[in-house]
Amino acid sequence: MTRPPLTVRQVMAAEVVTVAPDTPLDVAIGLMNLYRIGALVVVRPDRSAAGVFTDRDLLRRVAVAPAGWQERPVSEWMTADPHTIGPEVGWEEALATLERFRVRHLPVVENGKVIGIISPRVLVSRREEYLNRVVEERTRALRQANEHLLGRDAELTYNMRAAARFQTRLLLPPRPPDWPELRWGTHYAPLNHLGGDYYDTALPAPDHLGVLIADASGHSIAAMMVAILSRTAFTDAAARTPRPGEVLAAMNTRLLALADDRFVTAFYGVLDRRTRVFTYAVAGHPPPLRFEARTGEVRPLTGQGFLLGIMPEEVYRERQVQLEPGDRLLFYTDGLIEARNEIGETYDAARLTAAFRAHAAEPADEVVAALVADHRRFCGAQPLGDDVTVVAMEVGMTRGMTNDE
C-alpha cells in the first residue's frame, strides 16, 4: 500500500521550547543551553507566535550590547513576526519554504497556536527516522507476506503431490495383465505434479487384451480432470465391446458433454491372444511404432480419426496388423517427439524411429530405458515442455488358447 506524502506534522519537533516576550535574555539563553537547541519560540499568552529568538540573534547583538543586557526582555532581541508554516504542509514544500525565506527555523502553527518548530536539521533527521520506520514496517510486512506465501506454497505442494499420487493410482494401471507371452516396459513423466497423459489396459473378452494410450490437452489440474473423465469413459466402454473404433466413439460422445473446450488424443488397440491379430483405431494420436522381428523393420501403425471431445458422431475406422513372436509395439505421447534441445531442434518421429530400431531387439523394459536415456541426452539442459509417456509391449510365443489354459 502506498503511503501518503510526508507532512510537517510527522517530522516537526513537537516538544518546542517557548518563552513569554518579557522573559529575561539570560533565562532564555539558559533554556537554550539546557535543551541544546538553537532557537526558542516567543509566544503570547494565547500561544500565538510573537517571534523567534535564535543563536544568530544573540551573536548579532551581544558584541555591542550595553552592560546589564542579560536582564533585558527577549522581545527586544528576537526576530519579530516570524514566518510560520502549517502542520499539513508536505516535507518538500517545508524545506523549500526555509530556503525561500532564508531562515533556519519556522514555528508550526495550527489554529493560531504554536504546536512545534521545524529546521533543516529537524526535517532531515526526522525524515530519516520516518523512512527507517517505513523500511522496517515494509520489511516486516514483506517478511510476513513471504512466510504466508511459503506456507501456502508448502500447502499447495503437499496437495499437488497428494493429487499426483491419487492420479497415478487412478489413471495408471498397477500392472498390465499377466499374460506370459507379453512383456512390458513403461515410463511416465508428467511435466508438473499433475499431467494429462495416461495409459490403460482392458480385458473386453476372453483372450482379448486392450491397450490404450491417451493425452488430455493442457497441463496440471485441468488436464488431470479431463484425463480422469476420459479414463472413466474408457473403462465403461471397453468393458462392453472388443471393437476399438466403438470404444473411441463412446469416449468421444461422453467427452463432448463433459470436457468443455478441451480435447483428448488417443490410440486404442485390442490384441487377440489366439491369432496375434492386433486391431486398432486412432483419435488424433501420434502413431505407435511396430518392430517386425522377422524383417528388422520399424513401421508406424497409421490411422485416421478426429480428436476426442470435439466432433459429434465421429467414426473411428479400425485397422489390423498380424503380430509375430519377437515383435515389439511402442506407444508414446507427443511430449516425447516434440521435446526440443538447446538449439531448438525437436526429437521428432524420425529420431525416435532410429533409436527404437537400434534397441528394439532388447527386452521391453530395456527398450524403454534406452529410449528415455537417448531422449535425455538429446534434450540436454533444455527443460521439457510437455508430459512424456512411453509404453513398450513385447510379443512372445503364445502359451495357450485362453486365459485359463
Residue 159 pLDDT class (50, 70, 90 cuts): very low
Handedness of CA 298, 304, 307, 313 (dihedral sign): negative
Tell me the per-residue pLDDT of 88-132, one tens digit each, with 9 for 90 and over. Answer: 998 888 888 888 988 889 999 999 999 999 888 877 777 677 777
Per-residue pLDDT, averaged over 47-59, amounts to 92
- DSSP 8-state assignment for residue 70: G
CA distances from 72 to 28, 31, 54, 56, 65 (A): 11, 15, 16, 17, 10
384 or 309, higher pLDDT: 309
Question: Residue 71 corresponds to which amino acid?
Answer: E
pLDDT over 80 at 332, yes or no: yes
Of the candidate ranges 96-105, 189-198, 258-267, 321-330, the one whose mean pLDDT is the lowest:
189-198
Residue 198 pLDDT class (50, 70, 90 cuts): confident
pLDDT over 80 at 37, yes or no: yes
Per-residue pLDDT, averaged over 226-251, amounts to 92
134 or 294, higher pLDDT: 294
Quote the pLDDT of residue 387: 85
* CA atoms of 72 and 85, how far apart (whole Å): 29
* CA atoms of 98 and 105, how far apart (whole Å): 7
Closest by CA position to 119, among listed 140, 132, 101: 101
Judging by DSSP bridges, how do beta strands 208-216 and 289-291 pair with one another?
Answer: unpaired
pLDDT over 60 at 399, yes or no: no
CATH number belonging to the domain at 8-126, selected among 3.50.50.60, 3.10.580.10, 3.30.2320.20, 2.40.10.10: 3.10.580.10
Quote the pLDDT of residue 154: 60
The mean pLDDT value of the chain amounts to 86
Sheet with 264-272: strands ordered across: 197-205, 208-216, 264-272, 277-283, 319-322
CB distance 24 to 71 below 8 Å: yes
pLDDT over 50 at 217, yes or no: yes
Quote the pLDDT of residue 404: 40
The neighbouring-strand residues paired with 232 are none
Could you count the other beta carbons within 10 Å of the beta carbon of residue 213? 22
At the fourth CATH level, the homologous superfamily of domain 172-395 is PPM-type phosphatase domain (3.60.40.10)
Question: Residue 114 corresponds to which amino acid?
Answer: V
**Which of 6-10, 143-147, 279-283 ranks highest by mean pLDDT?**
279-283
Helices (H), 259-363: 334-337, 348-359
Residue in the structure block whose three cell numbers are 515494509: 138
Extract the C-alpha cell encoding 150: 511459503
pLDDT over 80 at 289, yes or no: yes
* CA atoms of 32 and 38, how far apart (whole Å): 6
pLDDT over 70 at 401, yes or no: no
Q: CA 40 from chain center: how many Å?
A: 59
* CA atoms of 405 and 403, how far apart (whole Å): 6
CA distances from 326 to 21, 138, 270 (A): 114, 69, 18
Quote the pLDDT of residue 325: 95
Q: Provide the whole-model pTM.
A: 0.60
pLDDT over 60 at 326, yes or no: yes
Quote the pLDDT of residue 302: 94
Per-residue pLDDT, averaged over 259-276, amounts to 88
Extract the C-alpha cell encoding 32: 537554550
Task: Please state the three-class secondary structure of 7-66 as a single string.
Answer: EHHHHCECCCCEECCCCEHHHHHHHHHHHCCCEEEEECCCCCEEEEEEHHHHHHHHCCCC
Handedness of CA 212, 215, 216, 221 (dihedral sign): positive
pLDDT over 70 at 398, yes or no: no
- DSSP 8-state assignment for residue 287: P
pLDDT over 90 at 193, yes or no: no
Could you count the other beta carbons within 10 Å of the beta carbon of residue 199? 23
Could you count the other beta carbons within 10 Å of the beta carbon of residue 303? 21
Residue 145 pLDDT class (50, 70, 90 cuts): confident
Tell me the per-residue pLDDT of 350-366, one tens digit each, with 9 for 90 and over. Answer: 999 999 999 999 999 99
pLDDT over 70 at 18, yes or no: yes
* CA atoms of 372 and 320, how far apart (whole Å): 28
6 or 113, higher pLDDT: 113
CB distance 51 to 82 below 8 Å: yes
User: Which run of H or of E encompasses 250?
Assistant: helix 244-258
* CA atoms of 211 and 182, how far apart (whole Å): 12
Quote the pLDDT of residue 169: 53
Quote the pLDDT of residue 153: 62
The neighbouring-strand residues paired with 141 are none
Residue 405 pLDDT class (50, 70, 90 cuts): very low
Tell me the per-residue pLDDT of 77-90, one tens digit each, with 9 for 90 and over. Answer: 999 999 999 999 98
Q: Cα torsion for 298, 304, 307, 313, to the nearest 10°?
A: -150
Q: CA 338 from chain center: how many Å?
A: 24
* CA atoms of 161 and 194, how far apart (whole Å): 8
Domain ranges of the chain: 8-126, 172-395
Quote the pLDDT of residue 257: 72
